[in-house]
Amino acid sequence: MTIATPDRGRKTFMLNMGPQHPAMHGVVRLMLELEGENIVDVDCEIGYLHRAFEKHAESETWNNVVPWTDRLNYVSPLINNVGYALAVERLAGIEVPERGQYIRVIASEISRVTDHLTCVGASAMELGAFTVFLYLIKAREYLYQLVDNLTGARITTAFTRVGGVKGDLPADFAAKFAEIAVKVREAVAESDKLLTRNRIFMDRVEGTGILSKEDALAYGITGPFLRSTGVPYDVRRAHPYLVYDRFDFEIPVGSTGDNYDRYLCRMAEIEQSLRIVEQALKQIPEGKHSLAPAEMKYAYELEDMGKHGDTELIQKYSAKVDKTLDGMGRETFGDVRAPNRWATLPAKEQTYTNIEGLMNHFELVMWSWGIKIPPSEGYFAVEGGNGELGFHVVADGGDGPYRVRCRPPCLFIMAALPKLLKGSMIADIIPTFGSVNMIAGELDR
């Protein structure tokens, strides 16, 4: 549609970019007013993937909200799991054991690396650097396999629990990470050679999508987008949580706030996250990682014994768990979960071998019987892949949240997107929007 604009004395035309568009990273609509290929004005419309995360959370018990958090930023779900759990634990006055805190840090930083690999790889592909995409997604695949080994799932991890994590680290986790870290660093180094000083790539990203430090702060932008402007704000350093104050890591910052600086910040942050995981695996307190009693039977065998009335035999055995329950037994229980009987599920041996443990388990998972948090409210933030990810949680004394409100880092960057694009060209939309790393599940919640 062509529009005559008397105040400008020229003709412009309107063009829809999205909501279905290969470079829109989900579903979002940009309504562009163009003069030739120059962008005169932009209106950004979100809401095509609204999932009602907050309302879903308000109809669940405290722990049952965790799987919903996976669906926020589904590229780095473990950070979402940790952020929500920390918000609830602050209200409940629960402190996670030290080993459990280290495991949360390890999981979060691996998730951050997968997030940055996806962002840089997808953005490079959209600019024609398909080889870089293959290198980085292959590196991400190695990390996904590691996450699967840790949590039992690649993306929908649901790893945290109020008071701890699902289970301990697998026996060979540190060795596997060391092997994978080498491969990830190789992929990043190869991508750096292909992109960082590539004339074609630099022409597309250097000097485009510029956002000033003042505007970034005014919009409430955080994460790599803010740090690219020169502001070294990182929640892990500004407001340390878990055990982040024990690690030596740098906060990469840029100077111009353009697409090139945002690319450099993310590439540098990959290395910093790998450094944090390596330090965490060296510092993590000792703790047994799996069950090792002399006489063991699988959980389903104990169930069958109970059904047949062989209850006197159950006391002779401990529960041997399958892969999905690995690391959740008595041997590791005190290392990764808070010893709060009113909030933490019992070890699997207790659940399967004595009535008290079974009752405790059922009361915690049944509606209207679970964790009860006194009326209170609070906010807790963690450093997500795109910036400050916060949860404002309200408790009314029931077994689930009365209100949950999420602060998605994407939203504030998307609010500034029209300002970034006005005055640029259509081709500049691709690298600029790619640097936002918009995740629709987090944006529309």
- pLDDT higher than threshold 80 for residue 300: no
> Is residue 414 within 8 Å of residue 433, measured between CB atoms?
no
Last residue of a domain, one of 358, 373, 400: 358
pLDDT in tens, 356-392: 888 888 888 887 777 889 999 999 999 999 999 999 9
Mean pLDDT of 53-59: 92
Mean pLDDT of 318-331: 62
228 and 306 assigned to the same domain: no
Integer CA distances (angstroms), 409 to 19, 270, 366, 405, 443, in order: 21, 19, 34, 13, 8
Mean pLDDT of 251-274: 95
Instruction: Identify the pLDDT of residue 294.
Output: 47
178 and 314 assigned to the same domain: no
Q: How many CB atoms lie under 10 A from the CB of residue 34?
A: 16
Q: Strand pairing of 318-320 and 296-298?
A: parallel
pLDDT in tens, 282-295: 999 987 655 454 46
273 and 413 assigned to the same domain: yes
267 and 301 assigned to the same domain: no
Cα separation, 340 vs 334, in Å, equals 10
Instruction: Identify the pLDDT of residue 350.
Output: 75
Mean pLDDT of 304-325: 66
Cα separation, 230 vs 224, in Å, equals 10
pTM score, two decimals?
0.90
Query: Is residue 64, in this structure, part of any structural domain at all?
Result: no
Query: Is residue 400, in this structure, part of any structural domain at all?
Result: no
Residue with tokens 């590691």: 146
> Is residue 172 classed exposed, middle or buried when 0-12, 13-18 and 19+ CB atoms within 10 A define those classes?
exposed
Q: Residue 148: which CATH number? A: 1.10.645.10
Query: How is 3-37 classified by DSSP, letter by letter?
Result: EEETTTTEEEEEEEE-SS-TTSSSS-EEEEEEETT
Q: Which residues pair with 296 in a beta bridge?
A: 318
Cα separation, 413 vs 257, in Å, equals 13
- Among 240, 175, 221, 265, smallest CA distance to 382 is for 240
Cα separation, 420 vs 267, in Å, equals 22
Q: Which residues pair with 382 in a beta bridge?
A: 389
What percentage of residues in the chain have a pLDDT greater than 90? 65
User: Comparing 19-23, 414-418, 438-442, which segment has the lowest mean pLDDT?
Assistant: 19-23
Length of the chain: 445
For residue 263, give its domain range.
77-86+95-287+408-444
Query: Is residue 14, in this structure, part of any structural domain at all?
Result: no
Instruction: Identify the pLDDT of residue 189.
Output: 96
- pLDDT higher than threshold 90 for residue 66: yes
Q: Name the E strands within 236-348.
A: 296-298, 318-320
The total domain count for the chain is 2
Single-letter code of the amino acid located at 78: L
CA torsion sign for 363, 170, 337, 354 is positive
270 and 309 assigned to the same domain: no
Sorting pLDDT into bands at 50, 70 and 90, what band is 8? Answer: low
Query: Is residue 399, in this structure, part of any structural domain at all?
Result: no
Report, in angstroms and rounded to the nearest whole number, the Rg of the chain calculated over CA atoms.
Answer: 24
Instruction: Identify the pLDDT of residue 7.
Output: 58
pLDDT in tens, 69-89: 999 998 999 999 999 999 999
Q: How many CB atoms lie under 10 A from the CB of residue 243?
A: 16
Which tokens hold the place of 235? 């929640």
Instruction: Identify the pLDDT of residue 316.
Output: 64
251 and 303 assigned to the same domain: no
251 and 328 assigned to the same domain: no
Cis peptide before 431 (omega within 30 of 0): no
Single-letter code of the amino acid located at 258: D
- pLDDT higher than threshold 80 for residue 43: yes
- 256: helix, strand or coil: coil
Query: Is residue 27, in this structure, part of any structural domain at all?
Result: no
Instruction: Identify the pLDDT of residue 331.
Output: 65
255 and 121 assigned to the same domain: yes
What percentage of residues in the chain have a pLDDT greater than 70? 89
pLDDT in tens, 132-158: 999 999 999 999 999 999 998 999 999
- pLDDT higher than threshold 70 for residue 325: no
Sorting pLDDT into bands at 50, 70 and 90, what band is 200? Answer: very high
Query: Is residue 259, in this structure, part of any structural domain at all?
Result: yes
Cα separation, 294 vs 309, in Å, equals 23
Of 402 and 354, the structure prediction assigns the larger pLDDT to 402
Query: Is residue 136, in this structure, part of any structural domain at all?
Result: yes
Query: Is residue 114, in this structure, part of any structural domain at all?
Result: yes
- Among 42, 92, 75, 78, smallest CA distance to 393 is for 92
User: Comparing 113-122, 238-247, 338-347, which segment has the lowest mean pLDDT?
Assistant: 338-347
Single-letter code of the amino acid located at 318: S
Q: Which residues contact 252 (CB under 8 A, 6 or more apart)?
A: 227, 264, 265, 268, 269, 272
118 and 203 assigned to the same domain: yes
Instruction: Identify the pLDDT of residue 291.
Output: 47
274 and 327 assigned to the same domain: no
Instruction: Identify the pLDDT of residue 421.
Output: 94
Last residue of a domain, one of 318, 338, 358: 358
Instruction: Identify the pLDDT of residue 235.
Output: 96
- pLDDT higher than threshold 50 for residue 124: yes
Mean pLDDT of 319-343: 69
300 and 202 assigned to the same domain: no
311 and 210 assigned to the same domain: no
- pLDDT higher than threshold 60 for residue 416: yes
Last residue of a domain, one of 316, 342, 358: 358
Of 208 and 320, the structure prediction assigns the larger pLDDT to 208
Instruction: Identify the pLDDT of residue 432.
Output: 94
